[in-house]
Amino acid sequence: MKKVTNYILMNFIKSFNPIFFTLFFMVSIIYFIKIAKITAIIKISFLELGELYLYILPRIIIYTFPIVFFIAITLSLSKMSKENELGVIFSFGLSPKKIAAIFFYLSLLSSTFLLIDAIFLVPISKQLYSNFIDVKKAEAKLNISAMEFGQKFSNWLVFINKSKKQNSFEDIIMYSKEKNKDNFVIAKKASIDNSKGTLKLKLNNGKAFIIEPKSIKQTDYKTMIVYNSKNMEIVGKKGVLSYWLKALKDRGRAKDFATFILVSLFPLVFFLLSVSFGIFNPRYETPNIYGYIFATIISYYILMYYTISLNPLASIILIPVVSLVVSFLVFKKKVLSRY
């Protein structure tokens, strides 16, 4: 019995792998095109491109894995049915219920993995992706070069005499004007630092002057830090719980939550339906397997998005219950009543 189970699983894996990697590759290309559009705004290295791809990886998995899982069960069993292998397996005493049980545990494991991905990894990766883009955009606006006039850092006009290396400078003059006074800052050395998503200009060994109508004030300093105060709306790392609790007030976040949950449950609620499509007698039946597959996937997603648009949180209960009932009824009528 164990060898028969392993044989069924091996057939499933042979169907799953080529479909998954093909679809995964196609979706990855779509996201790479989106990343390529970002490079028109910000400059990123090859390693940073890979970092961005890792941030979108949880979303690629959530969109590809459930569909491929459903297709792979159906195709692997239909192939075994066409070659009369399932008939031989039934003669060994392995009933359709036991075959369904094999895929139940597999689908339960898959949905659990997808739920972890959706609830934990997706929000974390989305925040990291957003932070990365925001920081890079801010850095692009702070691209200060030596011997150029009119450059700005926050509210300061900056002139740099010499650029030692990237983001490291020598002989800096900074100027800002307020209502009744002018501010001058000079420094022998300076560097731009990105610490925890906050960009700052660190000045070393210099003087600061405040020029007012009736007085001039001077301050000598060893280290002065000037923070960038504009265009720095960097999203911090929020807890996963607080991220999803926003769904109670934010309808957009509620739709995202419902969508990810329902997509994650797709393998679990439809494993019986995929088994039903895959098991048939090739002498008397020639089912349109691909038609069944696409009809099921399209119907589920249309119903899911429609129900979510009406009531996101209620759809999390309604859609799985309806899907499970339909799957069981089809399995009972098409498989259990015959085999």
The pLDDT value given to residue 137: 67
Q: How far apart are the first and last CA of the chain?
A: 18
Q: What digits encode the pLDDT tens for the residues 18-55?
A: 999 999 999 999 888 888 877 766 777 788 888 889 99
Rg of the chain's alpha carbons, rounded to an integer? 30
What pLDDT, on the 0 to 100 scale, is given for residue 147? 60
Q: What was the pLDDT predicted at 231? A: 45
Q: What is the pLDDT of residue 268?
A: 95
* pTM value > 0.85: no
HSE-CB of 67 using CA atoms within 13 angstroms: 22
Q: Collect the ranges in the chain with pLDDT lower than 50.
A: 230-237
DSSP labels, 200-260: EEEEEEEEEEEEETTEEEEEEEEEEEEE--SS--PPP---HHHHHHGGGT-HHHHHHHHHH
Residues paired with 153 in a beta bridge: 156
Residues 105, 111, 113, 115, CA torsion sign: negative
pLDDT of residue 338: 79
